[in-house]
Every structure is written in C-alpha cells, then in structure tokens.
Structure 1
Amino acid sequence: MEITDLTPAERRVWDAFPRGEGVDFRESPDEPSGDGASWGPERTVRADVLRSLLLGVPPQEGRVAGLKLYGAKIVGKLDLKYAVVDHPIRLRSCWFERKPMMYGAQLRAVVLGDSTLPGLTAANLRVDVVLRLSGCTVDGPLRLAGARMSGGLFLNDAVVRPSPLPDEAGEPPLQLNHAEIATDVIADGLTVHGEFRINGATVGGQVMLDRARLINPGGIALHAETLSVGTDVRGSRLTARGMVNLTGARIPGQLFLGRARLANPGGVALRASSCVVGEFWLRKSPTIDGIVNLRRSQLDLLWAEPSVWPPVVRMDGLTYRLLHPHLPAEERLPLLEREEDGYLPYAYEQLAASYRTVGDETGARTVQLAKLRRHRRTQPRHTRAWGVLQDATVGYGFRPLRAAAWLLALLVTGTLAYGLTPPRPLKAGEAPDFNPLFYTIDLLLPIIGFGQESAFAPSGWYQWLSYLLIVTGWILATTTAAGVSRSLQRQ
C-alpha cells in the first residue's frame, strides 16, 4: 500500500505507530463502541493499513513501536493469520466491521478492551504477555481453542453472544477448550449467551467467574470437563442457567460457588463427578434447581448448608474429609435419602467418618444407627423383626442405655409385684428369706444367681410374670451383646 493512499485518519495512525504513541478518536473517554457503525470517515481506518503497520513498518530509533488506537471504526478484515508480530496491539473502544483473524499468530500483547466485534478467530494463538478482552461485546464465536498465553486472559464484564450467521449456528459462543494460560483467567462479570467451553484447558493460576452470567437454558452453560487449574475456581454470585459440567476437573485450592444460582430444571444442574477438589464451597447458595452429580469425586472439605441440595443428588463414591458447617447429624441425614440409586451404605459410612474426624462420636453413632434402619427397609418383611427388636431395645448397639431403661422398668415392676404377693417357698423351712428385688434380678439376668429363683415358685398370673421376665431378660442380653459387638467391630 502506498502512503499516498492514506486518509487523514489513517495518516495519524501511521505516523504515531513508529513512536509508540496513541491515537484517540473518541469524543469522550466513556464513549461506547456499540455505535461505531455510524462513525464517519474521520474515525475510519482500514484493517489493511493496520496489518501493514504491524508487519512492515520499523520502529523509530530509540522508541518502542506499538499500535495504540482508541475509538476507531475498523473496516475490512484484520488478517494476522500465522503472523509473527513483536509490537503490542491496543485497539480499545473500537468497532470492527469483520471479525479479526489471528489463527496461529504469535503476538506480543493484545488489548481489545471495550470494543465491539462480530467475533474473533484466534484458535492456536500464541501471546507472550496478555490478552485483554474486558468490556468487549462480541456478537459471534470467540474462538480461543488451543491458545497459549504466557500471561493472563481478561474477560471482565465482556458480553459474548451467538453468531447470527446460519453457518455458525449452534457453535459455542466462547471457546477456550484445550487452551494453556500460564497465570489467570479473570472473567468477573462475564456474560455468555450460550455455552462457555473451557474443557481440557490448563490454567496456571485461578479462574475467576465472580458475578458471571452463563445463560444456556436446557444446554451446557459451562463446559469445563478435565479443567486443570493451579489454585482456585471462583464463582461467587455466579448465575448459570443450564448445566455446569466440571467432570474430571482438578482444583487443588477452592471451588467457590458461594451465593451462586445454578438452575437447569428437569436436567442436571451441576455435574462435578470424578473431580479432585481441595475445598468445595456452596455457602449461602439458594437451592439448586436440577440434579446434582458428585459421584466418585474426592474433596478435602465440603461446605454446604442442607438447604442447598435439590431433591435428587447422586453421590455414589463421593469422599470428603470435613463437612461444614458443623450441624447435628439429624440435619445431614435427609440428604442421604435423596440418592437416586437408593440405599448406599458407603454414603452413610462417609458421613459418619466426617463426624469422627472432628471428634463428634455422638453424630457418628447417629449416622450409623440411621444406616442400619435404612438397610432394614431394604430387607423382606419376614426378616425385619429381629432388626426392629434390636432397634427398640438397644438401638443396634448405638443406644445401650435403652437396655438399662428396659431392665430398670422390669426390675421395678417385678419388685413391686412380688413384694406385694411373695411366692411360696418350694421347701418350707429350708428356703432363704425372700427378697423381691433379688428374686426379680434372678429372673431377669440369666448369668447371675442369688438363690432366690430356685427357692420360690410363684403361682397364678405371677407365674406368667416370671416367664415374661425370664424371656425378656434373655432377649435384652442377646440383643445387647449383638449390638455392642457390632459397635466394637466398627471401632
């Protein structure tokens, strides 16, 4: 392109580039770029001019060349496919007629903040410093699959929508799958109308999605399978309409979804199966609208109030060490009833273990008792009687004081009954003095003998009372031994 072909606006940009100076066409610093289609020739720059600058114009001696342009209307296609550019590119608050092409390019730094674009094709892009798309409005696919960035990616308050073009229909609006970002992905306040695809990506630092809005009802709002991060994934006050899919993710720090709103009515709202997470926070989040799948995941800490869980939770194989906030076991047990596959013994053992970890043996015993009661409901009716008896008498060994209460009640009954009407001696003149208390103890406890039972014989209904005391004593002794033995074996 001949220099004589340049318009006055382009001449300003051409002269400023070698010196690394900026050209600002904006009428005010906060002027939006959405109205760029109506801007006149005094603010219009051809994409070919920008390409020629980046690829062919050397810097002025002693200066660092760079493209710094604000509030421009860029017409034509900025084609940097496979280009190697050592100059920083800053095109802020600009309006692009066509989507820039940066496929396979090697760039120093790219800043397109607050600009309006019909899309961006930058798959397999290499960026040495940073890629900033904060505040951008992108009406088409933002293709960054396979990108490699030595710095970070910034998408703060950006808005990404699906393409209106028929040949791009159904394509995810935001594509970061299999990208490698050395530091952070900062996307606070990001809005995506459609699928945000970041599966298989590797992020050296954290992924920040605080206040983000991911809108794809009935589909996948966040597709982050096998995502690997160095520290945290944060989504405080995140709104996701559609599935949040974190299957196989590796998050050594926090997966923070405090106050997040997750909704996918009639489908899976949160799929976090086979994940390895340090701390998973759902603190103060409203009830999730949809199924939650946590199967086979490994968590060090799970922070979730009981109210956050939906009617169906899949947790077969879920392991966690600590459960917060610390609540009575009775408030946690209803969650285990929501398992789609029915009774899962492992889920009860896991919950009991979490109570033991914090030294709450009472809570652990409550969970173990609930487990046996739930197991009893899965048995045939004719085999439940023994379980009902153990539960009523000693709580399967986890409520041993119940046996003492039963024994005390029977002991008082027998003592009063035989004290009022003593039984006759079997051998007059040879029997010891009758003692109603020790006589009742002789009947109740088969392994203890005070000589009272063998010396006296009740009659009438007192004889039936003695039979009842003997049978009840044997049952209590047997169930107590079975329950205590089961409890000791678990410990």
Structure 2
Amino acid sequence: MKIPDLTPFERKVGNAFPRGRDVGFSDGEAGQGRSWGPERSVRAEVIRRLLVGGRPADGEIASLRLTGVRITGRLDLKHATVPHAVRFFNCHFDHTPNLYATRIRQLNLSRCHLPGLDAATIRVDGVLRITGSRIPGVVRLGGARISGAFFLDNADLGEERSGDAEPILQLNHAGIDDDVWAPGLRTRGQIRLAGATVTGAVNLDNAELSEPGRTVIDAENLTVGSNLSAWRLHAKGTVNLRAAKIPGQVNLGEARLFNPRGVALRASSCAIGELWLGDAAPISGSVNLRGSQIGLIHAAPEVWPAHVELDGLTYISLQPRLPALRRLEVLERDDYVPHAYEQLAATYRRVGDDAQARAVQLARQRRHRTTLAWYAKLWGHIQDTTVGYGYRPTRAMTWLLGLLLLGTLVYGLHHPHPVEPGKAPDFNALVYTLDLLLPIIDFGQEKAFNPHGGYQWLAYLLIAAGWILATTVITGITRALSRQ
C-alpha cells in the first residue's frame, strides 16, 4: 500500500491489519471524536486501501479492528468487494460512509458515531451490526442482502426533522437470512421495512420510535419467518403492518401506540399467527384490522380505541375469555358489519359456549334493526320483545304459558258456543286454549266451539302467537339436541 505521509498511528493500523489485531484506545466517547487529533485518527483513504488491496500475513487472517478511533474524510467503498471482516468500535466518522453495492464479509459498527450510512444494496456475508451507535442522519439499507443477523439494539437514529424528510432507517426490499435484533432502539423518523423479508424474527422490545402524525413503521408486505416482538414498544405515529405475513406471534404486550389524530395501528390484509396486546395501554388513535386472518387475538376490550375497523377480519380464538357483552362493546365502535358479529359468535360456539354465541347473534339483530326503515324497525321490536329474535327460547315459553293462562281464564268465564249443539264434547277452557296455541296438534276443541266478537279476535291472536312462539321453542330445543 503506497500512501505518502502516513502518520505513526496509521502505520500502526497498517501493520496490525494483515494479522487481524486490535488497534485503538479504550477511553473517550465516539460522540466527542471530532476533537481527537492525529494521534488517534485514520484517514478514510488509508482504510479503503487496506480493505480493497490489503493482504493477510502468512498464516494469518486479515481484518480491520479499530477501537476509539476517528475516521477523517469520506470512506468510499462503493461497488467494492471486501473479503475481510471489519469492526469499528466506539469510533467517530467525520463523514457518511458510502457502502453502496459493497460486498463485505462482516461489518461491525458498534457504539460508533456516524453522520449517516449509505449502504443500499450492500451484500454482507455474515453479520451487520450497528449496536449502540448514534446516527443522526439517514441509514440507507434498501435492497440489502445480509446472510446473518442485523443488530441495531440500543442504537439511536435520526433527529427532529421536517415532515417531508425521507425515512431515517431504510430496509425496504431487504433480505435478511437471520434475525433483526433491535431491542432498545430509538428513532426520530420513519422505519421503512416495506417488502422486506426476514427469515428469522424481528425484535423491537423496549424500542422508542417517533414520527408524530405520520407513519413511524412502514412494514407493508413485510415477511417474517417467525415472530415480531415489540414488547413495551413506544410508538408515536402509525404502525403500518398492512399485508404483512407473520406466522408466529406479533407481541405488542405493554406497548404504547400513540397517534391520536390518525391510524395508530394498521394491520389490514395480514396473515398473523397470534396478535398479543396483553397489558398494553389503551391505543390512542384508530385501528384497522380489515381483511386480516389472525389465529388468536389476545387483548382486553379496553385496549381498543373508539374507532376500530373489523370488516373481513377472521380469527379463531379470543383471549382472555370474557362475556360476550364486553366483546360487543368493541364491535359497536365500527359501522355495522354483520361479518364481525358472525366471527365473534363462531368463537364462542367453538369453545362450546352457546349462550354467549346467542347473545352475540341477538346483538347483531338489534344492530341490524337500526339500519332498517321504520316499519321494519317496528316489527323488529316486536320480535325482540316477544322471542328475542328466536335466540331467547325460554322467553317464548314464558309467553306461551302466559297466553295459556289468559285463554284459560277468559274462556273459562265465557264459554264459546258449540258449532253443533248436542254433538260437541264437554268444553274444557285449558284444552281449548292449547288447541288454539299449538299448531298441528288437534284436541278437537277448536273445531267444536265457535267464539264470537272480541273472544273470536282473542282466538285469532292466540293462533298467530302460537305459531310464532311454538316455532321458537322448537328451534331452541333443536339447537340443544344438535349440541349434544
């Protein structure tokens, strides 16, 4: 490597590289690195020559391993192939490195300070790490291909910017063959994961992400091999998971989602194994779950905001197990969607709780009634009061017994005239009323006696009520037998 005027420290770095030895300083913070002088600085040009043209010593494995060092100038490895592992620890970069379309064995930028990182379409044959680093500018990794994991745990990205700024972390259409490991991540700006594929898991536990009033996580069409964990996530802005495919668990336990003037969580058209919102704070902003397929949803009703879109949402199970009345509160926060009621009723039937399923179906009928014309509403109120739209068979039995008592008393005091005097059987008010109330069954009393005036209208009423009520009772008995 021929670079004139190498400083003593640069020569030390050049001598350590062929043997893969550590060089640097254990004191100082990378954020204050601009004050470091030539005694702990390396020019970016020197590093570039080492990484592109350097060779290992005999029997050694070359690598660049710098600690507590200032890198002056712009490190430009655009389109380069770097066959060596590279580690910068607690280092300060004066300028944003350019790693566009670089191919590198492994890259570690832990606890470093960088103005930004231009590494779109980079190819990393191992691990990419920016653990604990402070990067106020944009991290461009769109289209990256990382064979190992991507670590950005406790990293601090971005700064307060205008609303039209580009995403602070760009991983759109990236392919990561292991995990994205980012617990404790702090960002000011959008994280873009649209179209990315992560073979392993995504971990955002205890992350603090801020893009108020805009999309803080854009993960449309994200594909994750196992789980997306965001336990205790604090997100200001929209978390957008539209059309994401996550076969394992999306864990938002104890999370705080805050976007009061817009959508806080958009998980529409998703395929998710389990959605966990256990002990999460009440969501500030609306939620959109339309058209998604979710195996299990674990969320208390109080977690959901005032506006929740549920049209087309399908799920198998709800946790924790709660009475239907509490779950129905959530359905009432959306426009009337029959499918949402059918899904909830099916969930209760699946666990054998038919009483709660009937309560949901009754609530659906009552909600549907609010969308009808006045005359249909009137008929609906009659059905509801008398038989609970058929979902309260015991109420129908009560009406039958009440009407039976009424008929027995009225006709016991005022016997109807026989149709054929001398041939009619002895009149029995109880049996006569049963004959009027019970369809199909014939005790011979109804045909033998003919009431007049108001008593005849009472007979008509008993016949009509009998058909409606008896049918309801039979339906309830049929449901009970079918469950057995």
Matched, 1:41 2:38: yes
Separation (CA, whole Å) in 2 of partners of 1:397 and 1:448: 22
Of 311, 333, 338, 1:338 maps to: 333
Say if 2:388 is the partner of 1:391. Answer: no
Give the distance between the partners of 2:454 and 2:448, measured in 1 at CA: 17
1:280 aligns with 2:275: yes
Give, as a single letter, the amino acid of the residue that structure 2 aligns with 1:99.
T
Question: 1:472: which partner in 2?
Answer: 462
| 1:290-439 map, 5 Å | 290-339=285-334, 342-416=335-409, 421=413, 423=415, 426=418, 432-439=425-432
Question: Is the contact made by 1:238 and 1:261 (CA closer than 8 Å) also made in structure 2?
Answer: yes
| CA distances 1:386-437 after superposition (whole Å, capped 9, x unpaired) | 3222222222222111111011122234445555x46376588776555443
> How many residues are aligned here?
479
What is the distance in 2 between the residues matched to 1:487 and 1:267? 48
> Is the contact between residue 192 and residue 215 of structure 1 (CA under 8 Å) also seen in structure 2?
yes
TM-score relative to the length of structure 1: 0.90
TM-fit CA distance, 1:107: 0.4
SS in 1 for 2:369: helix
1:389 to 1:40, Cα distance in 2 relative to 1, 3 A? same
**Aligned with 1:69: secondary structure?**
strand
Name segments (4+ residues, structure 1) moved above 3 Å. Answer: 1-4, 413-419, 421-436, 442-459, 463-467, 482-489
Counterpart Cα distance in 2 of 1:117 and 1:454: 98
Corresponding residue for residue 99 of structure 2: 102
**Cα distance, 1:11 vs. partner?**
2.2
CA deviation vs aligned residue, 1:109-139 (integer Å, no higher than 9, x gap): 1111000110011111000010010000001
Would you say the 8 A contact 1:290–1:310 is kept in 2?
Answer: yes
What secondary structure is seen at the aligned counterpart in 2 of 1:251?
strand
**Could you say if the C-alpha distance between residues 163 and 13 of structure 1 is closer, same or farther in structure 2, counting changes exceeding 3 Å?**
farther
Distance 1:337 1:155 in 2: 41
* TM-align CA RMSD: 2.7
- Residue deviations 1:158-195, cap 9 Å, x none? 0001497x9x9712111111111001100111111010
Q: Taking structure 1 as reference, are residues 66 and 239 closer, same or farther at Cα in structure 2, changes over 3 Å only?
A: same
Kept in 2: contact 1:423–1:457 (CA 8 A): no
1:233-263 deviations in Å (ceiling 9; x for gaps): 1111111111111111111111111111111
Q: Which of 98, 120, 124 matches 1:123?
A: 120
Q: Give the C-alpha shift of residue 444 in structure 1.
A: 3.2
In the TM superposition, residue 53 of structure 1 has moved relative to its aligned partner by 1.6
User: What residue ranges of structure 2 are gaps of 5+ in the alignment?
Assistant: none
Tell me the secondary structure at the aligned position of residue 431 of structure 2.
helix
Show CA shifts across 1:307-334 (max 9, x none). 1111111122111122222221111112
CA distance in 2, matches of 1:145, 1:455: 89
What CA distance in whole angstroms lies between the structure 1 residues aligned with 2:378 and 2:469?
Answer: 12
Secondary structure (helix, strand or coil) at the match of 1:331 reads helix
Separation in structure 2 between the aligned mates of residue 237 and residue 465 of structure 1, nearest angstrom:
71
- Matched letter for residue 295 of structure 2: D
Report the secondary structure of 2:259's partner residue: strand
Deviates more, 1:72-81 or 1:379-388: 379-388
- Structure 1 residues 445 and 197: alpha-carbon distance in aligned structure 2, compared to 1, 3 A threshold: same
Contact 1:105/1:124 (CA < 8 Å) preserved in 2?
yes
Aligned twin of 1:172: 167
The residue aligned with 1:218 is 213
1:74 aligns with 2:71: yes
Matched, 1:112 2:109: yes
Superimposed CA distance per residue, residues 456-484 of structure 1 (whole angstroms, 9 cap, x where no aligned partner): 6779xxx7467435403422423553796
Aligned partners of 2:387 and 2:472 also within 8 Å: no
Q: Give the superposition deviation at 1:487.
A: 11
> What's the % identity of the aligned pairs?
51
Answer yes or no: is the 8 Å Cα contact 2:400–2:469 preserved in 1.
no
- Going from structure 1 to structure 2, the CA distance change for 1:59 and 1:488 (only over 3 Å counts) comes to same
TM-score of the superposition, structure 2-length normalised?
Answer: 0.92
Residues 487/218 of structure 1: CA separation in 2 closer, same or farther (3 Å cut): farther
Q: Residues of 1 paired with 2:338 and 2:55: CA distance?
A: 71
Q: Distance in 1 between matches of 2:160 and 2:321?
A: 48
Change (3 A) 1:133 1:434: same
Partner of 1:227: 222
1:185-224, aligned counterparts within 5 Å?
185-224=180-219
Alignment partners' CA distance in 1, 2:416 and 2:151: 96
**Structure 2 contact 85–106 (Cα < 8 Å) conserved:** yes
* Aligned residue identity for 1:367: V
1:60 maps to 2:85: no
Deviates more, 1:247-256 or 1:135-144: 247-256
User: Matched residue of 2:31: which SS?
Assistant: coil
Structure-2 residue corresponding to 1:9:
9
Q: CA deviation at 1:445?
A: 3.2
- CA distance in 2 between partners of 1:218 and 1:169 (Å): 12
Aligned to 2:256: 261
Counterpart residue identity of residue 381, structure 2: V
C-alpha separation between the residues in 1 aligned to 2:5 and 2:416? 131
Paired with 1:334 and 1:388, the residues of 2 have a C-alpha distance of: 21
After TM superposition, the structure 1 stretch with the greater mean CA deviation from structure 2, 236-245 or 368-377, is 368-377
Taking the aligned partners of 1:319 and 1:446, their CA distance within structure 2 comes to 41
Query: Cα 1:381–1:71, aligned 2, differ >3 Å: closer, same or farther?
Result: same
